[in-house]
């Protein structure tokens, strides 16, 4: 990979083509996911007019007065939904210089007793700005299209691993852990470090990023060697999450990536969609064919943030770490329990 300077481009329409095209796509998918863990996906079937409208409404949201954005601030949500100012989220113990708005699957909060798992508190309603009602309607429509597309891709991964096409169905089940994040990266401040978001891996199954025209995303293809994932019109940048790396015993690669803040007087807008397993799932290691299994490298795990097979606890641990103010307000009783599970 020493010669790699850009991410591969995969054409999702090939999956619906003839048998030769399907084989080519699945081969490219397997190779890209194993060697790099990142790729561009084109001809994905998600309405580009709808995606453009999501971007437009996201800009309108971030342009709202701070007082209005604070009405839907995450500090008001025990389910970790809502708005955060730049510097509120923490990656590797340092603040990320980005403001953001998080939504999840729109489901009612569960009525829980004290002895039930803490991760069940994560299910609940989103916070929506009353002054921009179209944002809710449009984002929920986009979320549905993204879920349908991403589940098709997840089944293609099962085929690429020579597993039954429905192998992962029981993990995402009827309530996949869908997560959308609207992100605005302001230009860096004088003397700022330029951490839009610190180096990290994503924790779910698959991540999809809709970029604007501003560069900033970088992928660590080898230790300490980064390449730019430059914007490509009409595409999503797709990367493997740790759950797929875990399920495939490291055959598929969850890759470290980061975002560099734009220069002063510039900004960057991106919309991220994350597909995860249902929270009650426990991730197994799937039995792969010998020719695939022998090149699986085993999953990697940050010793300071170990990966758990229990999806709900793993996701909760990440939320508690990333949003300490929300955790302290709503879940102080869970902080010790989460740490003890590590």
Q: What is the pLDDT of residues 75-86, one digit of tens each?
A: 999 999 999 999
Q: How far is CA 44 from CA 1, 16, 152, 267, in A?
A: 26, 11, 10, 27
Give the pLDDT confidence score for residue 301 in this predicted structure. 61
Distance CA 36, CA 1 (A): 9
Q: Is the pLDDT of residue 306 over 70?
A: no
What pLDDT was estimated at residue 339?
46
Q: Is residue 94 over pLDDT 60?
A: yes
* C-alpha separations of 166 from 155, 170, 191, 238 in Å: 6, 8, 51, 21
pLDDT band at 300 (very low <50, low <70, confident <90, very high): confident
What's the mean per-residue pLDDT of the chain?
92
Q: CA-CA distances (angstroms) from residue 316 to 242, 246, 294, 320?
A: 15, 18, 33, 6
Give me the CATH code for the 9-341 domain, please: 2.60.120.330
Extract the tokens encoding 35: 């060697």
pLDDT in tens, 64-73: 999 999 999 9
pLDDT digits (tens, 9 = 90+) for 9-52: 999 999 999 999 999 999 999 999 999 999 999 999 999 999 99
Domain layout of the chain by residue ranges: 9-341
Is the CB of residue 222 less than 8 Å from the CB of residue 2?
yes
d(CA 213, CA 202): 23
Residues 6+ apart with CB under 8 A from 317: 305, 308, 338, 341, 342
DSSP-H helix ranges across 63-221? 66-70, 133-160, 169-172
113 band by pLDDT with thresholds 50, 70 and 90:
very high
């Amino acid at each position: 990979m020493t010669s790699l300077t850009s991410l591969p481009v995969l054409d999702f329409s090939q999956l619906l083509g003839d048998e030769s095209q399907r084989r080519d796509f699945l081969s490219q998918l397997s190779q890209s996911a194993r060697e790099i863990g990142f790729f561009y996906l084109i001809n994905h079937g998600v309405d580009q007019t709808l995606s453009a409208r999501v971007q437009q409404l996201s800009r309108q949201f971030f342009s709202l007065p701070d007082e209005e954005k604070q009405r839907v601030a995450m500090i008001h949500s025990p389910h970790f939904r809502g708005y955060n100012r730049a510097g509120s989220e923490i990656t590797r113990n340092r603040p990320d210089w980005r403001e953001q708005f998080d939504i999840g699957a729109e489901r009612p909060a569960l009525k829980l007793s004290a002895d039930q798992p803490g991760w069940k508190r994560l299910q609940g309603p989103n916070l929506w700005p009353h002054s921009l009602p179209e944002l809710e309607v449009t984002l929920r429509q986009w979320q549905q299209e993204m879920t349908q597309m991403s589940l098709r891709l997840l089944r293609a991964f099962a085929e690429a691993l020579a597993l039954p096409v429905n192998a992962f169905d029981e993990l995402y089940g009827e309530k996949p852990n869908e997560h959308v994040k609207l992100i605005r990266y302001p230009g860096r401040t004088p003397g700022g470090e330029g951490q839009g978001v610190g180096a990290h891996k994503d924790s779910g199954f698959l991540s999809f990023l809709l970029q604007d025209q501003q560069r900033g995303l970088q992928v660590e293809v080898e230790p300490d060697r980064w390449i730019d994932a430059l914007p490509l019109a009409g595409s999503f940048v797709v990367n493997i999450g740790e759950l797929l790396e875990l399920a495939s015993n490291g055959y598929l690669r969850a890759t470290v990536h980061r975002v560099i803040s734009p220069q002063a007087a510039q900004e960057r807008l991106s919309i991220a969609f994350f597909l995860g397993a249902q929270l009650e799932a426990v991730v197994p290691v799937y039995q792969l064919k010998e020719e695939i299994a022998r090149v699986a490298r085993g999953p990697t795990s940050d010793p300071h943030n170990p990966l758990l097979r229990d999806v709900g606890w793993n996701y909760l641990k990440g939320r508690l770490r990333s949003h300490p103010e929300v955790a302290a307000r709503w879940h102080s009783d869970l902080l010790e329990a989460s740490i003890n599970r590590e």
